[in-house]
A and B are shown apart, each in its own frame.
Chain A
């Protein structure tokens, strides 16, 4: 046991997955801090007098960054001054929930060698179906929610499956057809919201009718209405995707397809059929994001708006990358991004002059860049190479971290 501990301690200084991820986070926080300083005109002028009064600029900058990140922490994890000190962590979980689905929706097809950039369209069509079932059907409480969930899944899966079908049947590149479908879905959404069937007659702006109360996801416990059943669904989705990918025949086929399509074909695996399956599942997961947006508590209106996708389709890509394509990794990455989102909102409200929420987007993008380029982090911090046998996806960089190569699998399992 102590031998093992020694090995772990020795591993900290090397470029293994955990060290790289932690350092990537540190670097992104530093870059976020620089951005905060750059955005403050008062501070910038103090930096102009840096050689006369170096302490002004330095202490001012430190205060600015420290205040920003403290506010973020209070908004995302724990706020000692609030009545419910743990309320922020609930916000984090609420924000993380849709990202779990979105991350899985990218990670799963990625393992099969497909890049799902069409999350936006899958989400939108899923939301259209879910909303319609939500306001037009009358059903008792648990049944109605179930129908909404199924409708969302079907809507998302239809679009995802269509992308897969176009790829498998006609060879249409999934990236270009997804981009097209995203734009088509946006147009359809903009149109539908204005139609009689969807538009809320009580509102002037572009918003659909709200779903009925029976179609809302119930809260997990009474004291915190924000935290709802969708989080349970997200945990189930993580388990299910994990099971499918690592225990089922389908998952084996998909991974074979991603690792080496020619070998998979030679082994008798139908490339086109499994491509469609992968995209169907991805679309279904994106449809669940739609359900959290419509029937969850994120939007208070419980209705479709033109901005309903809120960039989640694309954020899912970064979540999948940060989670290294593994279901549990995706869940952890989603939690981190959820914390940053929740914290960013709190920071925007708590700081003067306001530090805009967008700094979170930068931090998220930078983390992912560093995590995807372990060699870069290794060079910055002069980390040792990972020894042979002490397997890690972040070796000398021959294996890009999320690539569906088997090296990454063994790495994550070893760590």
Chain B
């Protein structure tokens, strides 16, 4: 984004101390996380009196082989994980590790922390409480799909140099058109196509206003979100609410079971028994990754996003590429909106409820890469799922605060762990030939 570059300049000068500061911050954070695990989860009252943790392993809502519950003593396991995390944090603090090892270390710490939290939340001396792991994963997939698709839309658009803050609006409008057209034609899939086209249309609007009329792109995105909110809210109240059956009533998606793979232990029903769009989303992530880094289109996209003048000099049509990419991004987000509607069967006012902004965060958190966006979306989806699945376990932590955890984590991540993220150099800057 335009303003990101302002603060990026001193990094190069003060590179050494920057890395040190980040190392101390990350190491200290990890040690604190370990202590929280130790004192809060491992030695807390919830795990006292030989409490054991029960993880359910069978997804009741889907067919699959029955897997027996996984039961283990809570306290020893959590304490062991906590000690491991503290040691890893100390190691991080002590030595400057290469990037690959830092990444692995951070992932292990996050995994241990999450596992310890789950073990703690499902710990019960009487053994009655349980957390069904496949349910958590299933909710994660459902929550992550619109985020992945929205973030993918952001990646494609921003890699070519157009900031896409309008993901929220594209999701919302895509969802609205899915409901409207899908109900009118009695076909969910025609609705999905309409949703994709609606997203692309919103993308076109963004592209025209940003590329041809040079509106500041971050502001433009916010305004387009407002526009989408207004238009869909208005039509929802004046058309859909009075006549749900003829404008807003769809049969939700049905799952597509991939034979063989769907019967894999625990993971199968979650990963291979989902509506078609879930597979499409994963496929698109791979496709965009391959496209961006292994095709002519990708090379040109990145060139245009980094140095449009240079790309122009060698004959790349800068503006045309940007138009295409922003529309493509809008189409991805539109599909995400179609998912939101197709998953429940109807549209509700402001049903995206900030998901587009989370997708935007996933773009930045994932460092403008498709797999990064997927990982970030999965993280957000997972914590969301965890918060809703543990809400019945009567945790001493209120679920409202639990839902804020991924945002707190992201805040820490952008501030310390992943350091300064660098947007494509020409992101948000209009290209004027000449």
Contacts and interface: CB of A to CB of B under 8 A. Distances in A.
Interface of A: 35, 38-41, 113-115, 117, 166-177, 179-184, 186-188, 190-191, 194, 261-262, 265, 271-272, 275, 314-315, 317-318, 321, 353-356, 358-366, 368-369, 372-373, 375-376, 397-398, 400, 402-403
A179 B414 contact: no
A397 B1 CA distance: 20
B229 A184 contact: no
A187 B400 contact: yes
Given A271-B6, A372-B223, A373-B214, A184 B230 contact: no
B233 interface: yes
A175 B1 contact: yes
Contacts of A275: 7
B3 A373 contact: no
A156 to B, nearest CB: 18
By size class, the interface of chain B is: 35 or more
A172 B9 CA distance: 14
Given A176-B364, A271-B7, A365-B224, A356 B214 contact: no
B223 A321 contact: yes
Looking at A41, A176, A182, A363, the one whose CB has the most chain B CB atoms below 10 A away is A176
B354 interface: yes
A361 B233 contact: yes
B8 interface: yes
B421 A369 contact: no
B404 A194 contact: no
Contacts of B403: 187
Contacts of B354: 182-183
B404 A187 contact: yes
Interface in B366-415: 398, 400-401, 403-404, 407-408, 410-411, 414-415
B227 interface: yes
B233 A356 contact: yes
Main secondary structure of the interface of A (DSSP, over half): helix
B238 A376 contact: no
Q: When A and B form their complex, which 5 residue pairs have the shortest distance between CB atoms, in order from nearest?
A: A361-B230, A39-B238, A187-B404, A373-B213, A191-B400
Contact of A179 (B212, B225, B358, B404): B358
A322 to B, nearest CB: 10
B420 interface: yes
B73 interface: no
Contacts of B404: 183-184, 186-188
A314 B225 contact: yes
26 contacts: A39-B238, A115-B1, A171-B8, A172-B411, A175-B165, A177-B415, A180-B361, A180-B408, A181-B407, A183-B354, A184-B408, A187-B404, A188-B404, A191-B401, A314-B226, A318-B226, A321-B219, A355-B238, A356-B234, A360-B230, A365-B224, A365-B230, A369-B215, A372-B220, A373-B213, A398-B214
B411 A364 contact: no
Contacts of A172: 411, 414-415
B432 interface: yes
A262 B407 contact: no
B234 A171 contact: no
B279 interface: no
B110 interface: no
Given A179-B357, A184-B404, A364 B238 contact: no
B218 interface: yes
B60 interface: no
A68 B165 CA distance: 32
B415 A318 contact: no
A261 B215 contact: no
A360 B237 CA distance: 13
A395 to B, nearest CB: 11
A314 B222 contact: yes
B363 to A, nearest CB: 9
Nearest to B209: A373
A375 B408 contact: no
Contacts of B4: 173
Given A167-B7, A372-B215, A400-B214, A190 B415 contact: no
B31 to A, nearest CB: 19
Given A372-B223, A373-B215, A361 B229 contact: yes
B230 A362 contact: yes
Interface string B224-246: 11110111011101110011000
B125 interface: no
A316 B416 CA distance: 30
A178 B50 CA distance: 43
Nearest to B235: A39
Interface string B1-28: 1011011110100000000000000000
Interface string B300-333: 0000000000000000000000000000000000
A309 to B, nearest CB: 12
B29 to A, nearest CB: 12
Contact of A166 (B227, B360, B411): B411
B41 interface: no
A363 B226 CA distance: 10
A364 B361 contact: no
A376 B213 contact: yes
B373 to A, nearest CB: 13
A327 B362 CA distance: 34
A402 B408 CA distance: 31
A81 B239 CA distance: 31
B100 to A, nearest CB: 22
Given A176-B414, A362-B231, A375 B214 contact: yes
Given A361-B230, A397-B213, A181 B411 contact: yes
Given A317-B219, A400-B216, 12 more contacts: A38-B235, A39-B235, A114-B3, A115-B218, A168-B7, A169-B415, A184-B408, A190-B400, A318-B226, A366-B227, A369-B224, A403-B216
Looking at B216, B229, B233, B243, the one whose CB has the most chain A CB atoms below 10 A away is B216
A269 to B, nearest CB: 12
A176 to B, nearest CB: 5
B28 to A, nearest CB: 14
Contacts of A194: 398, 400
B127 interface: no
Contacts of A180: 361, 407-408, 410-411, 414
A48 to B, nearest CB: 15
B9 A262 contact: yes
Interface string B156-168: 0000000001000
B44 interface: no
Contacts of B239: 39, 41
B175 to A, nearest CB: 16
A173 B234 contact: no
A115 B219 CA distance: 8
B76 interface: no
A358 B3 contact: no
B414 A177 contact: yes
B365 interface: yes
A182 B357 contact: yes
Contacts of A318: 222-223, 226
Given A177-B415, A361-B233, A183 B219 contact: no
A120 B216 CA distance: 21
B226 A176 contact: no
A357 B6 CA distance: 40
Given A187-B404, A356-B237, A397-B213, A362 B227 contact: yes
Nearest to A39: B238
Nearest to B238: A39
A359 B414 CA distance: 38
A358 B7 contact: no
